[in-house]
Amino acid sequence: MDQNTNLNPETNDRAVQSTQPMESTAVRQFEPHEQIQEQESGQKIPVTWLDQDEINQLRSRWTSIQAQFVDQPRSTVEQAEALVSEAVDRINHLLADLQTSLSEQWCNHEDASTEDLLCTIQDYRTFLYRLLDH
């Protein structure tokens, strides 16, 4: 999704040059906030759910499981199931944490300014679009 990638800090420059007129107008309008928000949300909502070490580790475990299929198809599929369950649990956990940290931004702040709420809604949008993208 274009809107989502546009919110990504790394693609910020491209976001401004977006080919979609609606989108680029919106981005231009909110550019100052967008940048601040992006720096924040870039930390809160990472580009990948898991960190690179964990991704590498899961991938290498997957590779060795895959190579066993020829010798033991059934038990290899069982191992694949276990590894996928583990990854799903990890990501569920991370998503729950992210969700919690987003609600902490506003839930208990009755005095949150419109500006704060604007940042929060942008974070929610980033979060949702990331969910939809993956």
Partner 1 sequence: MNIQSLLPYLIVAAVVILAALGIALVISRIKSLKLRKKFGTEYDYTVQAEGDPKKAEQALKERQKRVVKLDIHPLDENARDRYNEEWMEIQAYFVDEPKKAVDQANRLITEVMIARGFPVADFEQRAADLSVLYPEFVPNYRNAYAIAKKNEQDGSSTEELRKAMVYYHSLFGELLSPIETKEKELETA
Question: Which residues contact partner 1 (rule: CB under 8 A)?
Answer: 63, 66-67, 69-71, 73
Question: What are the angstrom distances between the C-alpha of 83 and each of 19, 72, 77, 93?
Answer: 41, 16, 10, 15
Q: Compare residues 46 and 73 and give the one whose CB is closer to partner 1.
A: 73
User: CB pairs under 8 A, 24+ apart, for 94-98?
Assistant: 94/49, 94/50, 95/49, 95/131, 98/44, 98/45, 98/127
Of the chain, the end-to-end C-alpha distance in Å amounts to 10
Question: In the bound complex, what is the minimum distance in angstroms from residue 87's beta carbon to partner 1?
Answer: 18
Q: Cα(48)–Cα(1) distance, rounded to whole angstroms? A: 15
Q: Compare residues 11 and 76 and give the one whose CB is closer to partner 1.
A: 76
Question: In the bound complex, what is the minimum distance in angstroms from residue 79's beta carbon to partner 1?
Answer: 13
Q: Compare residues 65 and 95 and give the one whose CB is closer to partner 1.
A: 65
Q: Compare residues 64 and 108 and give the one whose CB is closer to partner 1.
A: 64
Question: In the bound complex, what is the minimum distance in angstroms from residue 72's beta carbon to partner 1?
Answer: 10
Question: In the bound complex, what is the minimum distance in angstroms from residue 109's beta carbon to partner 1?
Answer: 51
